[in-house]
């Protein structure tokens, strides 16, 4: 689909986490090319600035359409600072794209916050960020509520959440740890406190490719499925799960009220939030 056949998204503000490479960068580019103001998140300020500069230089995006922020998701304190800066500078957000992610390492690794690293980076940091951005996502004077798009994975179907040992300290497998983080992100989309969907963008040729296959489609193609769900013209049902463009049933656990409540309680505990 050419840009000329796509509707304009000017006047809208979208935050994309993990926007410095892969699907996140291409999502930011496609949104900006349709007129969106895009807030780019990177692990470091240098990476985020470089992504913004690249969009201006190579995609013809205007500099005033972009803002960039840094937060290392292995440090929840930085997530809190990031959220505070966004709310202060952009009091209304139309969409939050929770995209930043990592493959679980070969060896069991725990962050300074005490959480298994993939569970924190892929899920807990996004959970905390989403909660802290709630004022911006619900601030539209017309009553329009912002939406959240969680970039998840079909591997969530292979997962279970280890409730008694979410850090998987007793029995660690990098694939199980990664899949658990993706299941948690998918379950979070069904949280009634947010208007959210999750999407598997397909097997794409990114840093996560080795978890899936030897080859994949381009990040451009994967990002198009994410961008589609950012468009207000596309109606969504809270908690829905998409495999690329097709709405399909997620893993059964992802829609269980009990699982949603249990995960919320666990996440609040692990990120230090109180009810």
Q: Which residues are catalytic?
A: 178
Cβ-contact 47, 118 below 8 angstroms: no
Give whole-number Cα distances, 130 to 73, 76, 98, 149, 196, in Å: 13, 13, 8, 11, 10
The two three-digit tokens of residue 262, written as one number: 């249990």
Cβ-contact 270, 79 below 8 angstroms: no
- Give the closest residue to 59 by CA, choosing from 37, 26, 11: 26
Neighbours of 85 (CB within 10 A): 15
* CA pair distance 129, 170, nearest whole angstrom: 28
């Amino acid at each position: 689909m050419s840009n000329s056949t796509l509707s304009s998204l000017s006047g809208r503000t979208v935050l994309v986490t993990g926007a410095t490479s892969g699907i996140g960068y291409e999502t930011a580019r496609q949104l900006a090319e349709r007129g969106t103001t895009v807030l780019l998140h990177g692990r470091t300020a240098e990476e985020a600035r470089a992504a913004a500069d690249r969009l201006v230089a190579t995609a013809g995006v205007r500099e005033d359409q972009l803002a960039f922020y840094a937060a290392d998701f292995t440090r929840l304190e930085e997530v809190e600072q990031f959220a505070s800066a966004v709310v202060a500078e952009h009091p209304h957000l139309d969409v939050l794209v929770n995209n930043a992610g990592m493959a679980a390492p070969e060896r069991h690794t725990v962050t300074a916050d005490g959480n298994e690293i993939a569970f924190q980076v892929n899920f807990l940091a996004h959970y905390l960020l989403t909660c802290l951005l709630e004022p911006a996502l619900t601030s539209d004077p017309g009553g329009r509520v912002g939406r959240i798009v969680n970039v998840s994975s079909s591997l969530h179907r292979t997962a279970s959440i280890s409730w008694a040992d979410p850090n998987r300290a007793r029995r660690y497998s990098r694939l199980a740890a990664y899949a658990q983080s993706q299941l948690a992100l998918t379950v979070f989309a069904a949280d009634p406190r947010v208007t959210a969907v999750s999407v598997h963008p397909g097997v794409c040729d990114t840093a996560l490719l080795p978890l899936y296959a030897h080859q994949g489609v381009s990040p451009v193609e994967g990002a198009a499925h994410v961008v589609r769900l950012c468009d207000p013209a596309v109606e969504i049902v809270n908690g829905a799960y998409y495999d690329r463009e097709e709405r399909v049933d997620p893993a059964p656990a992802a829609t269980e009220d009990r699982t949603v409540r249990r995960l919320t309680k666990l996440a609040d505990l692990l990120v230090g939030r109180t009810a």
